[in-house]
Amino acid sequence: MYIVSSYPLAVVFCFITMLCWGSWGNTQKLAGKTWRYELFYWDYVTGVLLLSIISAFTLGSWGENGRGFLADLGQADWSNIGSAFFGGVIFNAANILLSTAIAIAGMAVAFPVGIGLALVLGVVINYLGSQKGDPVFLFLGVGVITIAIIINALAYKRASSVNQKVSTKGILISVLAGVLMSFFYRFVARSMDLDNFVNPAAGMMTPYTAVVIFSLGIFLSNFLFNTILMRKPISGNPTHYKAYFKGGFSIHLVGILGGIIWGIGNSLNLIAAGKAGAAISYGLGQGATLVAALWGVFIWKEFKNSPKGTNGMLVLMFILFAIGIISIIYAGQ
């Protein structure tokens, strides 16, 4: 299987993760013009699962290093399989809430608040599980990003004073999504031998196998979580499966594309974790908050017509996010 051999390459992979995790929400915004986000989400989870399977039978099976996907799956302990699967269930609950927050408040709010909070809590959780990297620079970066999150929330509050379509519900749902999101990565990382992808310990999984099991957890739990959300939506009117099957090929393709984009970032991030460590790899990947905020502010114009001074707050938020991310990168040197 393909294995990252250097820290700089691991950082590059994490930056690609950042772009992917921060950009998939654009597909929801595109589909949301004519398509409910609950219906979009079925295609999204399908795309995540498809990408994981393709990755497992290609990069996860080619080459001489490590165990191939099928061999790795056959020797995996059920405890590790269950850990990766449960990580998928937790992620799915969090991501459905994030999708709801995007639909209500937009990308410029849902990502910095929700995923920013997930970054802060997730780095702490993953560092406690696998202490790799300089804790001073790691948590300095986390602290700076925390300040950026607070500034974003204040900017959102200013914007809501003139935009009656915006409510505090968007922030509250984003916070709940962020808390849940902070836990999923640790369960997936725990199922892998992060210290040795070349010759992983017996019973533990390679990142490619762990991603497939994780994606199955997302897909199967969606039959519970999304069915409930379709019948009792947090925002909007109830919908049903008939509406999903009435959707055209192009609208379904947008959702699948969103899942593939996110899945590429997830696979690269877990591959990079072997060299960078879980806390740093996760923290850099969740720098997606910065990418998503850029999309929301400059492409979707989600802060258009905001009161004077709001733009300055957004600029400060971006600067602080960038400083925090640089500090996290330095922590891995």
Residue boundaries of the structural domains of the chain: 9-331
pLDDT at 12: 95
pLDDT of residue 161: 62
Residue type, 202: A
The answer to whether 216 and 203 are in contact (CB under 8 A) is: no
**Torsion angle (degrees, nearest 10) of CA 135, 140, 145, 148:** 170
First-to-final CA distance of the chain:
25
- pLDDT the model gives residue 162: 59
Cβ burial of 20 (10 Å; 0-12, 13-18, 19+) is buried
Which of these, 305, 278, 309, 308, lies nearest to 194 by C-alpha position? 278
Per-residue pLDDT of the chain (333 residues; tens, 9 = 90+): 899 989 999 999 999 999 999 898 899 889 988 899 899 999 999 999 999 999 999 999 998 888 999 999 999 999 999 999 999 999 999 999 988 888 787 776 777 788 888 888 999 999 988 888 899 999 999 899 889 888 877 887 777 665 545 557 888 898 999 999 999 999 999 999 998 998 899 999 999 999 999 999 999 999 999 999 999 988 788 999 999 999 999 999 999 999 999 999 999 999 999 999 988 998 888 888 778 778 888 888 877 778 888 889 989 988 998 899 899 889 987
- What is the per-residue pLDDT for 164? 47
| CA 46 to each of CA 35, 81, 87, 254: distance values in angstroms, whole numbers, following the listed order | 17, 20, 17, 11
Q: Which string of DSSP letters, residue by residue, matches 274-321?
A: HHH-HHHHHHHHTTHHHHHHHIIIIIS-TTTTPPTTHHHHHHHHHHHH
The pLDDT value given to residue 286: 82
